[in-house]
Amino acid sequence: MRILAIETSCDETAVSIVEATETSGVISFTVLGNALVSQTDIHKEFGGVFPMMAKREHAKALVPMLLKALKEARLYEPEYCDISQSVGEIEKLLEREDSLSKSLLDLISNTKKPAFDLIAVTAGPGLEPALWVGINFAKALGRVWGLPVMPINHMEGHVISSLIAGGSIAEVAFPALALLISGGHTELVLMKDWLSYELIGATRDDAVGEAFDKVARMMGLAYPGGPKISKLASSAREKNLSIPFTLPRPMLHADSCDFSFSGLKTAVLYALGDHKDLTDETKEMFAQEFEDAVTEVLVKKTSKALEQTGARTLIIGGGVSANQHIREEFRKKMENEFPGVAFFVPDRELSTDNAVMIAAAAYIRARAGVTYREDFIASGQLSLGK
């Protein structure tokens, strides 16, 4: 099955063309074309993602990304000139309209259908104005090409992308526990089977990625702060710096599987207050202590959830799962205390937002025969489990 997938939920515009096949229970994904452009440079100066600006950038980038993915997949044909000549007009329509307009359909009506079976698009969660751009574009292409358009939950994309090892998904032992850590979410979700989700813990305030980004900002580091904090922390560890302060580990000993990170963020704010001129070394110390605090909480709560649920698989997904220290600490924990539990983290390039994960999730849904409505809308708050 050949899938065109579109992702515009936050600040990455991504288009992928993925071929999914299945032999003897092994599902394989071949990425034929993969185009992604990040808006981080644009949002940098504001310290976060501005929905209206994100919307405009997605509208600008979608056609070029589609053409790039088609070229990479060697599916580009001269007939696509129609669409490439209308980039500016399509951009205006995608930016302006929150529903599928006839003018958009007219503009792309002569665009030749590539050899696709399905279009998949992120329907939520995320920034609604940004989601709408991808949804309208996907629906317009679906209408013109006569293809089904499947709505995909972004978080499900993160779950499935973690299971892809070397391009394939082998057997998964259920129940599986998923720890989802991204810029907007921090959740522990129990999967009793494919596509069945039960929320067993979540953050009560900030998401982990959000805490990384906010703490980075307090230290004068540009958005997105996660990778920068991670770099400073690893440099602190290399130097073996001894840290003269400790930060709280919120809810570490609480009985529930919920998280809270806003207190940790505030603690950093107060602690930084005593360090007016931050030297590089002070920044490194704060980064390490912050990363340690977050990691300890994530590992502890996840272990608790593993014990409570008797899960046979642990899946970690979402942008923060790119963090080297978090990966390493989980690997050690699993090896030492949960040797019988299968452990999955996504390949680095599939950790942060991308459209391959949207295509992969769509395939898992399609093979399960899940039905869906084609008149779906953008759902900013879409959730996986109840």
Binding region for Zn ion (CB under 5 A) = 182, 353
Closer to ligand KG4 at the Cβ: 223 or 338? Answer: 223
Closer to ligand KG4 at the Cβ: 134 or 209? Answer: 209
Q: Is 295 exposed, middle or buried (0-12, 13-18, 19+ CB in 10 A)?
A: buried
Longest CA–CA span in the chain (Å) reads 66
CB 119 within 8 Å of CB 358: no
Q: Would you give the DSSP letter of residue 222?
A: P
Interface mask (CB under 6 A) for ligand KG4, residues 316-355, using x and -?
--xxx-xx----------------------------xx--
Of the candidate spans 113-121, 136-144, 177-185, 256-264, the one that interacts with ligand KG4 by CB under 6 A turns out to be 177-185
CB 150 within 8 Å of CB 362: yes
Q: What angle do CA 361, 359, 199 make, to 5 degrees?
A: 25
Q: Strands (DSSP E) along the chain, which ranges?
A: 2-7, 12-23, 26-38, 118-124, 149-153, 168-169, 176-181, 186-193, 196-202, 313-317, 342-344
CB 129 within 8 Å of CB 137: no
Bridge partners for 344 per DSSP? 315
CB 46 within 8 Å of CB 24: no
Tell me which of Zn ion, ligand KG4, none is bound by residue 322, counting a contact when its beta carbon lies within the kind-specific cut-off of 5 to 8 angstroms.
ligand KG4
- Whats the size of the chain, residue-wise? 386
- Which pair of structure tokens corresponds to residue 248? 């709280």
CB count within 10 Å of CB 20 equals 21
Of the candidate spans 176-184, 196-204, 269-277, 335-343, the one that interacts with ligand KG4 by CB under 6 A turns out to be 176-184
380 binds ligand KG4 per the rule CB under 6 A: no
157 binds ligand KG4 per the rule CB under 6 A: no
Of the candidate spans 220-228, 259-267, 366-374, 378-386, the one that interacts with ligand KG4 by CB under 6 A turns out to be 220-228
Of the candidate spans 62-70, 182-190, 335-343, 358-366, the one that interacts with ligand KG4 by CB under 6 A turns out to be 182-190
- Which pair of structure tokens corresponds to residue 282? 């002070």
Tell me which of ligand KG4, Zn ion, none is bound by residue 111, counting a contact when its beta carbon lies within the kind-specific cut-off of 5 to 8 angstroms.
none
Q: Of 134, 151, 201, 225, which lies in the binding site for ligand KG4, with binding defined by CB under 6 A?
A: 225
226 binds ligand KG4 per the rule CB under 6 A: yes
Closer to ligand KG4 at the Cβ: 32 or 316? Answer: 316
Positions touching ligand KG4 (CB under 6 A) are 10, 182-184, 209, 212-213, 224-227, 230, 318-320, 322-323, 352-353
